[in-house]
């Protein structure tokens, strides 16, 4: 699909910057807005059709300035889960009010001709008692999940009341090339590889039996763009995951294998305030049925590719 102008909020982050790379050959102009609270300026591709704007989605005047003429918005910007637990006010302002402003200003400046993709999270499922967990379920236990879930509802309001096309996707534990190991709030996969590079033990919070649904970044992006190109998907919410549970202990062993170690030491630390989820796996039947997508990259293969990128100098594209 070809686009004139696309805006990516949080476009200096892991997923946001990868979206920009995917869009490069198909856009006349890509505008990235990011306050670099966790993103990296160098992650944004240096290309003629890419413009970087330093700023926040909570700045309504800035949104009014950059949004006119936009065909598609990828709203990826948000406060990090760990930071959200430490500062609920910031979480509210960024994740809820900021998202509300993105929807509002997109409609005011572009009308119904613009479409908005809202990146939500599997954190809205909390410690689910239904596994794999379908989109109809929710259990809100943290400020991050509360703000992200509330923003989903505002997206629905703008869609139903004002005809603004909004597509909501719930990502879960996306990992892979491009995830900065230097970011203290990066995912556990990157943290494990970084620990090994430093000759330090991997840190596991709790007993390590907690499970997650780890999704390789290229699979996640394939899912996202499959949904964007599917008219039936707009106005709805979709899980993006594998449907497979992997314990953190199993992940640590798989990371060690990918780096060529049969055994690697781990250290167990007490659970953090955000460590509320015992098990997670997403039901991905809906996206398979509507968009014909399913994850294709096994965990071991995804970890090998990530390891090659981190330590072998391979390009992340």
d(CA 241, CA 134): 11
Write down how long the chain is: 317
pLDDT band at 313; cut points 50, 70, 90: low
Distance of CA 26 to the CA centre of its chain: 22
Nearest to 246 by CA among 120, 131, 121: 131
Q: Specify the CATH number for the domain of residue 36.
A: 3.40.50.720
Domain count within the chain: 1
Question: What's the confidence (pLDDT) of residue 92?
Answer: 98
Torsions phi, psi for 163 (to 5 deg) = 75, 20
Tens of pLDDT, residue by residue over 169-218, are 999 999 999 997 767 667 999 999 999 999 999 999 999 999 999 999 99
pLDDT band at 273; cut points 50, 70, 90: confident
Which residue has tokens 């994740």? 95
d(CA 173, CA 189): 9
Range of the domain at 306: 1-317
Catalytic annotation on 216?
no
Q: Degrees (nearest 5) of the Cα angle 44, 45, 49?
A: 110
Do 203 and 266 meet the contact criterion of CB atoms below 8 Å apart?
Answer: yes
> Does 317 have pLDDT greater than 70?
no
Tens of pLDDT, residue by residue over 34-82, are 999 999 999 999 999 999 999 999 999 999 999 999 999 999 999 988 8
Tens of pLDDT, residue by residue over 217-264, are 999 999 999 999 999 999 999 999 999 999 999 999 999 999 999 889
Question: What's the confidence (pLDDT) of residue 315?
Answer: 58
Catalytic residue among 144, 154, 175, 216: 144
């Amino acid at each position: 699909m070809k686009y004139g102008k696309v805006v990516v909020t949080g476009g200096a982050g892991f997923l946001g910057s990868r979206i920009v790379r995917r869009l490069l050959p198909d856009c006349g102009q890509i505008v990235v807005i990011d306050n670099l609270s966790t993103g990296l300026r160098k992650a944004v591709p240096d290309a003629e059709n890419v413009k970087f704007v330093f700023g926040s989605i909570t700045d309504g005047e800035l949104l009014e300035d950059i949004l006119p003429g936009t065909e598609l918005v990828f709203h990826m910007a948000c406060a990090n889960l760990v930071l959200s637990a430490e500062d609920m006010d910031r979480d509210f302002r960024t994740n809820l009010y900021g998202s509300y402003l993105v929807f509002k200003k997109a409609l005011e400046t572009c009308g119904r001709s613009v479409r908005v993709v809202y990146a939500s999270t599997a954190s809205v499922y909390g410690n689910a008692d239904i596994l794999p967990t379908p989109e109809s379920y929710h259990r809100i236990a943290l400020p991050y999940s509360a703000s992200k879930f509330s923003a989903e509802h505002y997206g629905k309001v703008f869609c139903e009341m004002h005809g603004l096309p909004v597509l909501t996707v719930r990502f879960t534990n996306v990992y892979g090339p491009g995830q900065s190991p230097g970011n203290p709030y990066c995912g556990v996969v990157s943290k494990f590889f970084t620990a090994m590079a430093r000759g330090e033990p991997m840190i596991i919070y709790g007993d390590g039996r907690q499970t997650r649904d780890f999704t390789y970044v290229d699979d996640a992006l394939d899912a996202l763009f499959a949904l964007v190109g599917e008219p039936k998907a707009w106005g709805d919410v979709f899980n993006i995951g594998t449907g497979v549970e992997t314990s953190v202990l199993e992940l640590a062993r798989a990371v060690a294998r990918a780096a060529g170690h049969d055994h690697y030491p781990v250290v167990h630390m007490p659970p953090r305030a955000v460590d509320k989820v015992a098990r997670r796996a997403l039901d991905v039947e809906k996206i398979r049925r509507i968009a014909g997508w399913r994850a294709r990259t096994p965990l071991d293969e995804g970890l090998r590719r990530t390891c090659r990128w981190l330590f072998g100098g391979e390009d992340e594209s």
